[in-house]
A and B are shown apart, each in its own frame.
Chain A
Amino acid sequence: DADVTQTPRNRITKTGKRIMLECSQTKGHDRMYWYRQDPGLGLRLIYYSFDVKDINKGEISDGYSVSRQAQAKFSLSLESAIPNQTALYFCATSSHTEAFFGQGTRLTVV
């Protein structure tokens, strides 16, 4: 079983729709992250959480929201999807020295 599991793996949605990406981890780490990856831009941080009661905005949080339901679960929502949110999204969990990534969710907004 994967250490970090993201669902769905692929999603096509229409402009204006609400969509949720889910992430669960079995590493037992407190820190969890959501990143967005676009060609040539590397991984950009959307939100991060250092424990269940801690939620922080990253570099590009506008248009996104998150929920930390438990230590092992961290979901990302797009309240009203727009085409420029088309990207590859990664969830990660980390210790102080190592991050573990999910396999990514490829989201297309049409």
Chain B
Amino acid sequence: TQLLEQSPQFLSIQEGENLTVYCNSSSVFSSLQWYRQEPGEGPVLLVTVVTGGEVKKLKRLTFQFGDARKDSSLHITAAQPGDTGLYLCAGVSADRGSTLGRLYFGRGTQLTVWP
């Protein structure tokens, strides 16, 4: 089982459309991060959210952390072909126990934006 469930797994849209990617869990995280990965490269951090309910904007990208710190979303407005890539959410576990502090990843959303 995956601690972080990310959806959808694949997303293929036309340039100019809006989209939302979701990252859900039954566990609580002390912080949640979104990464973007290009083929053959390591993931690169886009944003970190640490406070329940927090919203961060990065140009056309809007990131939200759920109030209970168990879920997050990434919304892209007016997608462009340059947004194409694998988007990964990751969370640092806040569960008291053996998993405290571990960094977990979702399976990723492969986004393709067509011109």
A contacts, CB < 8 Å to B:
4, 31, 33, 35, 40-45, 48, 50, 56, 58, 90, 92, 94, 96-104
The reply to whether B48 and A98 contact each other, CB–CB distance below 8 Å, is yes
Min CB distance, A31 to chain B, in Å?
A: 8
The reply to whether B104 and A45 contact each other, CB–CB distance below 8 Å, is yes
The reply to whether A50 and B41 contact each other, CB–CB distance below 8 Å, is no
Q: CB-CB < 8 A to A97: which residues of B?
A: 31, 33, 48, 50, 92
Interface of A is mostly: strand
Q: Mark B3-17, 1 if CB is under 8 A from A, else 0.
A: 000100100000000
The reply to whether A102 and B42 contact each other, CB–CB distance below 8 Å, is yes
Given known A99-B103, A101-B43, contact A40–B31 (CB-CB < 8 A) = no
Chain B residue with Cβ nearest A90: B42
Chain A residue with Cβ nearest B44: A101
Q: CB-CB < 8 A to B92: which residues of A?
A: 96-97
B30 is an interface residue with CB less than 8 A from chain A: yes
Q: CB-CB < 8 A to A33: which residues of B?
A: 103
What would be 25 A-B contacts, judged by CB atoms less than 8 Å apart? A31-B103, A42-B2, A42-B6, A42-B105, A42-B108, A43-B90, A43-B105, A45-B102, A45-B105, A48-B103, A50-B101, A56-B102, A92-B103, A96-B30, A97-B50, A98-B45, A99-B35, A99-B43, A100-B45, A101-B42, A102-B42, A103-B42, A104-B40, A104-B41, A104-B42
Q: CB-CB < 8 A to A41: which residues of B?
A: 107
Given known A90-B42, A101-B42, A103-B42, contact A96–B31 (CB-CB < 8 A) = yes
Give complex CA distance A50, B44 in Å.
Answer: 21
Min CB distance, A110 to chain B, in Å?
A: 20
Give complex CA distance A4, B42 in Å.
Answer: 10
